[in-house]
A and B are shown apart, each in its own frame.
Chain A
Amino acid sequence: MLKKLFKHEFYSLFRNLLPIYVALGVFTITCKLTSLIEMDNIIYETVSGFSVMFYVVSILAMFIVGMVIIITRFYKNLLSHEGYLSFSLPFTATQHIVCKLICAVTMISVNFVAVLLSLLIVGLGTDALNEIIEAFKMMFNEMFAGQVAFRVTFFILQIVLMLILAAFQSILMFYAAMAIGQQFKSKIGGSVLAYIGLYVAMESIMTVCMIPLMLIFGENFENYLMNGGIGAVQVFLILPMAMYVVFSTVYFLITRHFLTKKLNLE
Protein backbone atom coordinates (compact mmCIF):
# COMPACT_ATOMS: atom_id res chain seq x y z
CA MET A 1 0.00 0.00 0.00
CA LEU A 2 2.85 2.37 0.84
CA LYS A 3 4.22 1.81 -2.67
CA LYS A 4 1.02 3.33 -4.06
CA LEU A 5 1.43 6.38 -1.85
CA PHE A 6 4.92 6.85 -3.28
CA LYS A 7 3.63 6.30 -6.81
CA HIS A 8 1.01 9.03 -6.47
CA GLU A 9 3.45 11.37 -4.72
CA PHE A 10 6.11 10.99 -7.43
CA TYR A 11 3.53 11.56 -10.14
CA SER A 12 2.15 14.67 -8.39
CA LEU A 13 5.65 16.14 -8.00
CA PHE A 14 7.12 15.33 -11.39
CA ARG A 15 4.10 16.04 -13.62
CA ASN A 16 4.75 19.80 -13.46
CA LEU A 17 8.47 19.48 -14.02
CA LEU A 18 8.22 17.53 -17.25
CA PRO A 19 8.04 20.66 -19.49
CA ILE A 20 11.15 22.04 -17.75
CA TYR A 21 13.05 18.78 -18.34
CA VAL A 22 12.07 18.97 -22.02
CA ALA A 23 13.14 22.64 -22.18
CA LEU A 24 16.49 21.83 -20.54
CA GLY A 25 17.05 19.01 -23.04
CA VAL A 26 16.21 21.21 -26.02
CA PHE A 27 18.37 24.15 -24.88
CA THR A 28 21.25 21.82 -23.98
CA ILE A 29 21.25 20.59 -27.58
CA THR A 30 20.90 24.08 -29.11
CA CYS A 31 23.69 25.43 -26.88
CA LYS A 32 25.92 22.53 -27.80
CA LEU A 33 25.23 22.96 -31.52
CA THR A 34 25.81 26.72 -31.48
CA SER A 35 29.07 26.22 -29.59
CA LEU A 36 30.27 23.74 -32.22
CA ILE A 37 29.28 25.69 -35.32
CA GLU A 38 30.87 29.07 -35.85
CA MET A 39 29.16 31.48 -38.23
CA ASP A 40 29.72 35.18 -38.76
CA ASN A 41 26.07 36.03 -39.11
CA ILE A 42 24.00 38.43 -37.00
CA ILE A 43 20.86 36.23 -37.04
CA TYR A 44 22.87 33.17 -36.05
CA GLU A 45 24.57 35.08 -33.24
CA THR A 46 21.21 36.35 -31.97
CA VAL A 47 19.74 32.84 -31.97
CA SER A 48 22.88 31.58 -30.26
CA GLY A 49 22.64 34.30 -27.58
CA PHE A 50 18.98 33.57 -26.95
CA SER A 51 19.56 29.83 -26.66
CA VAL A 52 22.23 30.46 -23.99
CA MET A 53 19.84 32.78 -22.15
CA PHE A 54 16.98 30.27 -22.26
CA TYR A 55 19.38 27.52 -21.20
CA VAL A 56 20.35 29.47 -18.07
CA VAL A 57 16.68 30.28 -17.40
CA SER A 58 15.68 26.61 -17.70
CA ILE A 59 18.39 25.62 -15.19
CA LEU A 60 17.24 28.29 -12.74
CA ALA A 61 13.59 27.36 -13.32
CA MET A 62 14.33 23.73 -12.55
CA PHE A 63 15.59 24.56 -9.06
CA ILE A 64 13.12 27.36 -8.29
CA VAL A 65 10.03 25.60 -9.67
CA GLY A 66 11.22 22.39 -7.98
CA MET A 67 11.21 24.05 -4.55
CA VAL A 68 7.87 25.77 -5.23
CA ILE A 69 6.33 22.42 -6.21
CA ILE A 70 7.66 20.73 -3.05
CA ILE A 71 6.25 23.47 -0.80
CA THR A 72 2.86 23.81 -2.52
CA ARG A 73 2.41 20.04 -2.74
CA PHE A 74 2.81 19.68 1.03
CA TYR A 75 0.56 22.65 1.75
CA LYS A 76 -2.23 21.74 -0.68
CA ASN A 77 -2.20 18.01 -0.11
CA LEU A 78 -2.06 18.03 3.68
CA LEU A 79 -3.09 21.45 4.96
CA SER A 80 -5.81 22.66 2.57
CA HIS A 81 -9.18 21.00 1.86
CA GLU A 82 -7.36 18.17 0.04
CA GLY A 83 -6.15 17.20 3.52
CA TYR A 84 -9.61 15.77 4.24
CA LEU A 85 -8.90 13.15 1.59
CA SER A 86 -5.22 12.62 2.43
CA PHE A 87 -5.74 12.13 6.15
CA SER A 88 -8.68 9.78 5.69
CA LEU A 89 -6.50 7.46 3.60
CA PRO A 90 -5.30 4.43 5.58
CA PHE A 91 -1.89 5.91 6.45
CA THR A 92 -0.41 7.57 9.50
CA ALA A 93 0.78 11.19 9.52
CA THR A 94 4.36 9.87 9.84
CA GLN A 95 3.95 7.86 6.63
CA HIS A 96 2.62 10.93 4.80
CA ILE A 97 5.56 13.09 5.95
CA VAL A 98 8.22 10.46 5.21
CA CYS A 99 6.75 9.73 1.78
CA LYS A 100 6.63 13.42 0.83
CA LEU A 101 10.13 13.99 2.18
CA ILE A 102 11.77 11.10 0.32
CA CYS A 103 10.02 12.01 -2.93
CA ALA A 104 11.05 15.67 -2.54
CA VAL A 105 14.73 14.83 -1.87
CA THR A 106 14.67 12.43 -4.82
CA MET A 107 13.30 15.19 -7.03
CA ILE A 108 16.01 17.63 -5.95
CA SER A 109 18.67 14.96 -6.58
CA VAL A 110 17.27 14.17 -10.04
CA ASN A 111 17.24 17.90 -10.87
CA PHE A 112 20.82 18.24 -9.67
CA VAL A 113 22.00 15.26 -11.75
CA ALA A 114 20.05 16.50 -14.81
CA VAL A 115 21.71 19.93 -14.61
CA LEU A 116 25.14 18.39 -14.04
CA LEU A 117 24.74 16.12 -17.07
CA SER A 118 23.50 19.01 -19.17
CA LEU A 119 26.50 21.16 -18.17
CA LEU A 120 28.86 18.32 -19.01
CA ILE A 121 27.26 17.85 -22.45
CA VAL A 122 27.45 21.57 -23.22
CA GLY A 123 31.00 21.87 -21.90
CA LEU A 124 32.34 18.65 -23.43
CA GLY A 125 35.46 19.34 -25.49
CA THR A 126 35.54 23.06 -24.66
CA ASP A 127 38.55 24.80 -23.13
CA ALA A 128 36.53 26.01 -20.15
CA LEU A 129 35.56 22.47 -19.14
CA ASN A 130 39.13 21.22 -19.64
CA GLU A 131 40.40 24.01 -17.39
CA ILE A 132 37.84 23.16 -14.69
CA ILE A 133 38.78 19.46 -14.87
CA GLU A 134 42.46 20.36 -14.58
CA ALA A 135 41.78 22.61 -11.59
CA PHE A 136 39.86 19.82 -9.87
CA LYS A 137 42.65 17.35 -10.64
CA MET A 138 45.20 19.66 -9.06
CA MET A 139 43.06 20.27 -6.01
CA PHE A 140 42.42 16.56 -5.52
CA ASN A 141 46.10 15.69 -5.99
CA GLU A 142 47.01 18.21 -3.34
CA MET A 143 44.29 17.18 -0.92
CA PHE A 144 44.68 13.47 -1.35
CA ALA A 145 48.48 13.29 -1.59
CA GLY A 146 49.62 10.05 0.05
CA GLN A 147 46.02 8.94 0.81
CA VAL A 148 44.72 5.50 0.07
CA ALA A 149 41.87 5.12 -2.43
CA PHE A 150 39.47 4.04 0.32
CA ARG A 151 39.96 7.35 2.14
CA VAL A 152 39.29 9.32 -1.04
CA THR A 153 36.08 7.41 -1.75
CA PHE A 154 34.99 7.88 1.85
CA PHE A 155 35.55 11.63 1.62
CA ILE A 156 33.49 11.93 -1.56
CA LEU A 157 30.71 9.87 0.01
CA GLN A 158 30.84 12.11 3.05
CA ILE A 159 30.32 15.19 0.87
CA VAL A 160 27.39 13.56 -0.96
CA LEU A 161 25.84 12.49 2.34
CA MET A 162 26.23 15.99 3.71
CA LEU A 163 24.42 17.47 0.69
CA ILE A 164 21.59 14.96 1.08
CA LEU A 165 21.28 15.71 4.79
CA ALA A 166 21.21 19.43 4.00
CA ALA A 167 18.36 18.81 1.54
CA PHE A 168 16.42 16.82 4.16
CA GLN A 169 16.88 19.59 6.70
CA SER A 170 15.84 22.39 4.33
CA ILE A 171 12.67 20.59 3.27
CA LEU A 172 11.72 19.57 6.80
CA MET A 173 12.18 23.17 7.89
CA PHE A 174 9.59 24.23 5.29
CA TYR A 175 7.27 21.43 6.43
CA ALA A 176 7.60 22.42 10.11
CA ALA A 177 6.97 26.10 9.28
CA MET A 178 3.81 25.23 7.34
CA ALA A 179 2.63 22.84 10.08
CA ILE A 180 3.00 25.62 12.65
CA GLY A 181 1.62 28.28 10.29
CA GLN A 182 -1.70 26.44 9.75
CA GLN A 183 -2.59 27.34 13.33
CA PHE A 184 -2.80 31.03 12.39
CA LYS A 185 -5.82 32.72 10.84
CA SER A 186 -3.75 33.45 7.75
CA LYS A 187 -2.04 30.13 7.10
CA ILE A 188 0.43 31.53 4.58
CA GLY A 189 1.34 34.53 6.74
CA GLY A 190 1.69 32.24 9.75
CA SER A 191 3.93 29.87 7.79
CA VAL A 192 6.24 32.72 6.72
CA LEU A 193 6.47 33.96 10.31
CA ALA A 194 7.11 30.42 11.57
CA TYR A 195 9.86 29.95 8.95
CA ILE A 196 11.58 33.16 10.03
CA GLY A 197 11.29 32.09 13.67
CA LEU A 198 12.75 28.63 12.99
CA TYR A 199 15.55 30.12 10.89
CA VAL A 200 16.55 32.62 13.58
CA ALA A 201 16.42 29.92 16.27
CA MET A 202 18.53 27.54 14.15
CA GLU A 203 21.15 30.18 13.35
CA SER A 204 21.38 31.19 17.03
CA ILE A 205 21.85 27.58 18.16
CA MET A 206 24.48 26.96 15.47
CA THR A 207 26.39 30.08 16.50
CA VAL A 208 26.34 28.98 20.14
CA CYS A 209 27.59 25.52 19.11
CA MET A 210 30.50 27.08 17.23
CA ILE A 211 31.78 28.85 20.36
CA PRO A 212 33.43 25.75 21.94
CA LEU A 213 35.20 25.04 18.63
CA MET A 214 36.53 28.56 18.44
CA LEU A 215 37.67 28.35 22.06
CA ILE A 216 39.53 25.08 21.42
CA PHE A 217 41.20 26.08 18.19
CA GLY A 218 41.20 29.84 18.53
CA GLU A 219 43.24 31.56 15.84
CA ASN A 220 44.77 28.23 14.85
CA PHE A 221 41.49 27.06 13.33
CA GLU A 222 42.46 28.01 9.78
CA ASN A 223 45.94 26.53 10.19
CA TYR A 224 44.41 23.30 11.47
CA LEU A 225 42.24 23.00 8.37
CA MET A 226 45.05 24.00 5.97
CA ASN A 227 47.75 21.77 7.47
CA GLY A 228 45.62 18.90 8.77
CA GLY A 229 44.88 17.72 5.23
CA ILE A 230 41.85 15.68 4.33
CA GLY A 231 41.55 14.19 7.82
CA ALA A 232 41.05 17.62 9.35
CA VAL A 233 38.41 18.55 6.77
CA GLN A 234 36.59 15.27 7.40
CA VAL A 235 36.54 15.84 11.15
CA PHE A 236 35.31 19.39 10.59
CA LEU A 237 32.48 18.17 8.27
CA ILE A 238 31.05 15.98 11.01
CA LEU A 239 29.81 19.07 12.84
CA PRO A 240 27.40 20.36 10.14
CA MET A 241 26.31 16.80 9.41
CA ALA A 242 25.40 16.25 13.06
CA MET A 243 23.60 19.61 13.06
CA TYR A 244 21.57 18.62 9.98
CA VAL A 245 20.54 15.35 11.65
CA VAL A 246 19.55 17.07 14.91
CA PHE A 247 17.58 19.88 13.22
CA SER A 248 15.92 17.46 10.77
CA THR A 249 14.76 15.34 13.72
CA VAL A 250 13.40 18.38 15.55
CA TYR A 251 11.57 19.69 12.45
CA PHE A 252 10.16 16.23 11.76
CA LEU A 253 8.82 15.94 15.32
CA ILE A 254 7.30 19.45 15.14
CA THR A 255 5.60 18.62 11.83
CA ARG A 256 4.27 15.30 13.10
CA HIS A 257 3.00 16.86 16.32
CA PHE A 258 1.00 19.54 14.51
CA LEU A 259 -0.37 17.15 11.88
CA THR A 260 -1.55 14.62 14.45
CA LYS A 261 -2.57 16.77 17.41
CA LYS A 262 -3.36 20.19 15.99
CA LEU A 263 -4.50 19.70 12.41
CA ASN A 264 -6.51 22.64 11.13
CA LEU A 265 -8.06 22.11 7.69
CA GLU A 266 -10.55 24.98 7.91
Chain B
Amino acid sequence: MDLIMECKALTKVYTNQIALSNVNLQIGKGRIVGLLGPNGSGKTTLIKLTNGLLTPTHGEILIDGEPIGVNSKKKVAYLPDHNFLPQWMTTQQMLGFFADFYEDFNMQKAEEMLKSLEIDKKRKIKTLSKGTQEKVALIMTMSRESQLYMLDEPIAGVDPATRDYILRTIISNYSENATVIISTHLIADVEKVLSDVIFINKGEVALCDTVDNIRQKEGMSVDEYFREVFKC
Protein backbone atom coordinates (compact mmCIF):
# COMPACT_ATOMS: atom_id res chain seq x y z
CA MET B 1 0.00 0.00 0.00
CA ASP B 2 1.27 3.48 -0.90
CA LEU B 3 1.19 5.28 2.44
CA ILE B 4 0.42 8.95 3.10
CA MET B 5 0.54 8.71 6.86
CA GLU B 6 2.18 6.34 9.28
CA CYS B 7 2.26 6.36 13.09
CA LYS B 8 4.90 4.27 14.81
CA ALA B 9 4.47 3.53 18.51
CA LEU B 10 3.00 7.00 18.93
CA THR B 11 2.48 8.07 22.52
CA LYS B 12 1.45 11.43 23.93
CA VAL B 13 1.37 12.01 27.66
CA TYR B 14 0.05 15.25 29.16
CA THR B 15 0.92 16.17 32.75
CA ASN B 16 -1.50 13.78 34.42
CA GLN B 17 -3.01 11.94 31.52
CA ILE B 18 -2.12 9.56 28.71
CA ALA B 19 -3.75 10.98 25.59
CA LEU B 20 -2.36 8.44 23.11
CA SER B 21 -0.73 5.15 23.94
CA ASN B 22 1.47 3.21 21.51
CA VAL B 23 -0.59 4.01 18.41
CA ASN B 24 0.49 2.20 15.25
CA LEU B 25 -1.36 3.22 12.10
CA GLN B 26 -0.89 3.06 8.36
CA ILE B 27 -3.13 5.15 6.12
CA GLY B 28 -2.97 4.77 2.36
CA LYS B 29 -3.31 7.35 -0.40
CA GLY B 30 -6.67 8.08 -2.01
CA ARG B 31 -8.81 7.10 1.00
CA ILE B 32 -11.52 8.87 2.98
CA VAL B 33 -10.96 7.87 6.57
CA GLY B 34 -13.24 8.42 9.53
CA LEU B 35 -11.36 8.97 12.77
CA LEU B 36 -14.10 7.99 15.15
CA GLY B 37 -14.26 7.91 18.88
CA PRO B 38 -16.07 9.36 21.89
CA ASN B 39 -15.14 12.75 23.32
CA GLY B 40 -11.71 12.74 24.93
CA SER B 41 -10.61 9.58 23.13
CA GLY B 42 -7.48 11.18 21.60
CA LYS B 43 -8.72 12.12 18.11
CA THR B 44 -7.76 15.80 18.34
CA THR B 45 -4.42 14.95 19.95
CA LEU B 46 -3.58 12.68 17.01
CA ILE B 47 -4.54 15.40 14.53
CA LYS B 48 -2.55 18.04 16.41
CA LEU B 49 0.50 15.76 16.46
CA THR B 50 0.14 15.25 12.70
CA ASN B 51 0.14 19.00 12.17
CA GLY B 52 3.09 19.71 14.43
CA LEU B 53 1.03 21.55 17.06
CA LEU B 54 2.15 18.99 19.65
CA THR B 55 5.31 16.96 20.02
CA PRO B 56 5.02 13.21 20.70
CA THR B 57 6.26 11.87 24.03
CA HIS B 58 7.42 8.71 22.24
CA GLY B 59 7.23 7.39 18.71
CA GLU B 60 6.90 9.25 15.44
CA ILE B 61 4.56 10.20 12.62
CA LEU B 62 5.57 10.15 8.98
CA ILE B 63 3.70 12.07 6.30
CA ASP B 64 4.47 10.70 2.86
CA GLY B 65 7.62 9.20 4.37
CA GLU B 66 8.81 12.41 6.02
CA PRO B 67 8.80 13.32 9.73
CA ILE B 68 6.63 16.20 10.93
CA GLY B 69 8.20 19.52 9.98
CA VAL B 70 8.13 22.25 7.38
CA ASN B 71 7.89 19.78 4.47
CA SER B 72 5.06 17.75 6.00
CA LYS B 73 3.09 20.95 6.67
CA LYS B 74 3.23 21.75 2.95
CA LYS B 75 1.41 18.47 2.26
CA VAL B 76 -1.29 18.64 4.92
CA ALA B 77 -4.41 20.83 4.71
CA TYR B 78 -5.71 21.18 8.26
CA LEU B 79 -9.12 22.32 9.46
CA PRO B 80 -9.02 22.66 13.27
CA ASP B 81 -12.03 22.27 15.52
CA HIS B 82 -11.70 25.94 16.50
CA ASN B 83 -12.23 29.08 14.47
CA PHE B 84 -8.66 29.86 13.44
CA LEU B 85 -9.35 32.74 11.04
CA PRO B 86 -7.75 36.09 11.96
CA GLN B 87 -10.82 38.17 12.77
CA TRP B 88 -9.37 41.47 11.56
CA MET B 89 -8.79 40.24 8.03
CA THR B 90 -11.27 40.40 5.18
CA THR B 91 -12.05 37.22 3.25
CA GLN B 92 -10.13 38.75 0.33
CA GLN B 93 -7.05 39.19 2.55
CA MET B 94 -7.49 35.63 3.76
CA LEU B 95 -7.37 34.40 0.16
CA GLY B 96 -4.12 36.32 -0.35
CA PHE B 97 -2.73 34.91 2.89
CA PHE B 98 -3.39 31.30 1.86
CA ALA B 99 -2.09 31.93 -1.68
CA ASP B 100 1.12 33.42 -0.25
CA PHE B 101 1.91 30.53 2.06
CA TYR B 102 0.57 27.48 0.26
CA GLU B 103 1.83 26.80 -3.23
CA ASP B 104 -0.98 24.28 -3.69
CA PHE B 105 -3.73 26.84 -2.98
CA ASN B 106 -6.21 27.04 -5.87
CA MET B 107 -7.44 30.64 -5.88
CA GLN B 108 -9.97 30.08 -8.65
CA LYS B 109 -11.60 27.21 -6.81
CA ALA B 110 -11.79 29.24 -3.60
CA GLU B 111 -13.33 32.23 -5.35
CA GLU B 112 -15.91 30.05 -7.07
CA MET B 113 -16.95 28.48 -3.77
CA LEU B 114 -17.19 31.88 -2.07
CA LYS B 115 -19.27 33.15 -4.98
CA SER B 116 -21.62 30.16 -4.88
CA LEU B 117 -22.27 30.90 -1.20
CA GLU B 118 -22.61 34.64 -1.90
CA ILE B 119 -19.96 35.52 0.66
CA ASP B 120 -18.81 39.12 0.30
CA LYS B 121 -15.01 38.99 0.08
CA LYS B 122 -14.67 42.60 1.21
CA ARG B 123 -16.30 41.99 4.58
CA LYS B 124 -14.11 41.43 7.60
CA ILE B 125 -14.20 37.91 9.03
CA LYS B 126 -15.46 39.22 12.40
CA THR B 127 -18.57 40.67 10.74
CA LEU B 128 -19.59 37.28 9.29
CA SER B 129 -21.90 34.95 11.19
CA LYS B 130 -20.39 31.95 13.01
CA GLY B 131 -21.75 29.58 10.36
CA THR B 132 -20.34 31.67 7.51
CA GLN B 133 -16.96 31.86 9.22
CA GLU B 134 -16.94 28.06 9.44
CA LYS B 135 -17.74 27.85 5.74
CA VAL B 136 -14.93 30.29 4.89
CA ALA B 137 -12.51 28.19 6.95
CA LEU B 138 -13.64 25.04 5.13
CA ILE B 139 -13.33 26.73 1.72
CA MET B 140 -9.78 27.87 2.51
CA THR B 141 -8.79 24.36 3.59
CA MET B 142 -10.47 22.51 0.73
CA SER B 143 -9.12 24.93 -1.88
CA ARG B 144 -5.67 23.55 -1.27
CA GLU B 145 -4.66 20.73 -3.58
CA SER B 146 -3.02 18.80 -0.78
CA GLN B 147 -2.06 15.18 -0.41
CA LEU B 148 -3.67 14.89 2.99
CA TYR B 149 -6.67 16.75 4.43
CA MET B 150 -7.16 16.57 8.18
CA LEU B 151 -10.57 17.82 9.23
CA ASP B 152 -11.20 17.96 12.96
CA GLU B 153 -14.92 17.85 13.76
CA PRO B 154 -15.95 19.70 10.58
CA ILE B 155 -19.66 19.04 11.08
CA ALA B 156 -19.98 19.48 14.82
CA GLY B 157 -22.30 22.23 15.98
CA VAL B 158 -23.86 23.04 12.59
CA ASP B 159 -27.40 22.55 11.33
CA PRO B 160 -28.22 19.54 9.09
CA ALA B 161 -28.36 21.65 5.90
CA THR B 162 -24.90 23.09 6.57
CA ARG B 163 -23.70 19.59 7.49
CA ASP B 164 -24.74 18.39 4.03
CA TYR B 165 -23.06 21.38 2.40
CA ILE B 166 -19.81 20.69 4.28
CA LEU B 167 -19.77 17.00 3.34
CA ARG B 168 -20.59 17.84 -0.29
CA THR B 169 -17.77 20.39 -0.33
CA ILE B 170 -15.31 17.88 1.11
CA ILE B 171 -16.24 15.12 -1.32
CA SER B 172 -16.30 17.28 -4.41
CA ASN B 173 -13.16 19.28 -3.70
CA TYR B 174 -10.43 17.05 -2.38
CA SER B 175 -7.68 16.44 -4.90
CA GLU B 176 -7.35 13.21 -6.79
CA ASN B 177 -5.29 10.57 -4.96
CA ALA B 178 -5.44 12.64 -1.79
CA THR B 179 -6.51 11.22 1.54
CA VAL B 180 -9.11 12.84 3.74
CA ILE B 181 -9.20 12.13 7.46
CA ILE B 182 -12.42 13.29 9.13
CA SER B 183 -12.57 13.26 12.89
CA THR B 184 -16.09 13.13 14.27
CA HIS B 185 -18.49 11.44 16.64
CA LEU B 186 -21.46 12.12 14.31
CA ILE B 187 -20.93 8.86 12.45
CA ALA B 188 -24.32 8.48 10.78
CA ASP B 189 -23.77 11.72 8.88
CA VAL B 190 -20.34 10.83 7.50
CA GLU B 191 -20.63 7.08 7.10
CA LYS B 192 -21.86 7.29 3.52
CA VAL B 193 -18.70 9.03 2.35
CA LEU B 194 -16.10 6.98 4.24
CA SER B 195 -13.95 4.25 2.77
CA ASP B 196 -12.09 3.36 6.02
CA VAL B 197 -12.68 3.89 9.71
CA ILE B 198 -10.41 4.07 12.71
CA PHE B 199 -12.03 3.60 16.10
CA ILE B 200 -10.04 5.27 18.81
CA ASN B 201 -10.79 4.87 22.49
CA LYS B 202 -8.89 6.03 25.59
CA GLY B 203 -5.85 6.83 23.47
CA GLU B 204 -5.66 3.44 21.81
CA VAL B 205 -6.67 2.24 18.36
CA ALA B 206 -9.61 -0.11 18.91
CA LEU B 207 -10.23 -0.87 15.24
CA CYS B 208 -8.86 0.02 11.81
CA ASP B 209 -10.73 -1.42 8.86
CA THR B 210 -12.62 -0.62 5.67
CA VAL B 211 -16.31 0.29 5.89
CA ASP B 212 -17.21 -2.59 3.58
CA ASN B 213 -15.42 -5.10 5.80
CA ILE B 214 -17.17 -3.88 8.92
CA ARG B 215 -20.60 -4.06 7.27
CA GLN B 216 -19.85 -7.53 5.92
CA LYS B 217 -18.32 -8.97 9.09
CA GLU B 218 -20.60 -7.39 11.65
CA GLY B 219 -23.77 -7.23 9.59
CA MET B 220 -24.52 -3.68 10.68
CA SER B 221 -23.69 -0.11 9.77
CA VAL B 222 -20.58 1.59 11.13
CA ASP B 223 -22.81 3.83 13.25
CA GLU B 224 -24.56 0.82 14.81
CA TYR B 225 -21.26 -0.98 15.34
CA PHE B 226 -19.75 2.12 16.95
CA ARG B 227 -22.68 2.33 19.38
CA GLU B 228 -22.17 -1.32 20.29
CA VAL B 229 -18.40 -1.04 20.79
CA PHE B 230 -18.62 2.14 22.84
CA LYS B 231 -21.77 1.30 24.77
CA CYS B 232 -21.73 3.02 28.16
Contacts and interface: CB of A to CB of B under 8 A. Distances in A.
Contacts of B97: 8
Interface in A87-102: 87-92
28 contacts: A4-B100, A4-B101, A5-B101, A7-B100, A8-B97, A8-B100, A76-B86, A77-B86, A81-B82, A81-B84, A82-B84, A82-B86, A83-B53, A83-B84, A84-B78, A84-B82, A84-B84, A87-B51, A87-B53, A88-B53, A88-B78, A89-B101, A90-B73, A90-B102, A91-B70, A92-B69, A261-B55, A263-B54
B145 to A, nearest CB: 15
A5 B102 CA distance: 12
Contacts of B86: 76-77, 82, 85
Most buried by B among A87, A260, A261, A263: A87
Interface in A46-90: 76-77, 81-85, 87-90
A91 B73 CA distance: 8
Contacts, number: 54
A223 B102 CA distance: 62
Interface of B: 51-55, 69-71, 73-74, 76, 78, 80, 82-86, 97, 100-102
Interface in A178-222: none
A121 interface: no
A1 to B, nearest CB: 7
Interface of A: 1, 4-5, 7-8, 76-77, 81-85, 87-92, 260-261, 263, 265
Contacts of A89: 73, 101
- Nearest 9 CB-CB pairings of A with B: A84-B84, A84-B80, A85-B84, A90-B73, A81-B82, A4-B100, A88-B78, A90-B70, A90-B74
A38 B86 CA distance: 50
Contact of B101 (A1, A263, A265): A1
B53 A265 contact: yes
Given A1-B101, A4-B101, A88 B83 contact: no
Contacts of B80: 81, 84, 88
A90 B73 CA distance: 5
A261 B101 CA distance: 24
Contacts of B74: 90
Contacts of A87: 51-53
A261 B83 CA distance: 23
Given A87-B51, A89-B101, 18 more contacts: A5-B101, A8-B100, A82-B84, A82-B86, A83-B84, A84-B53, A85-B84, A87-B53, A88-B51, A88-B76, A89-B73, A90-B71, A91-B73, A92-B70, A260-B55, A263-B54, A265-B53, A265-B82
A71 B152 CA distance: 29
Contacts of B70: 90-92
A183 B143 CA distance: 34
B51 A90 contact: no
Contacts of B51: 87-88
Contacts of A263: 53-54
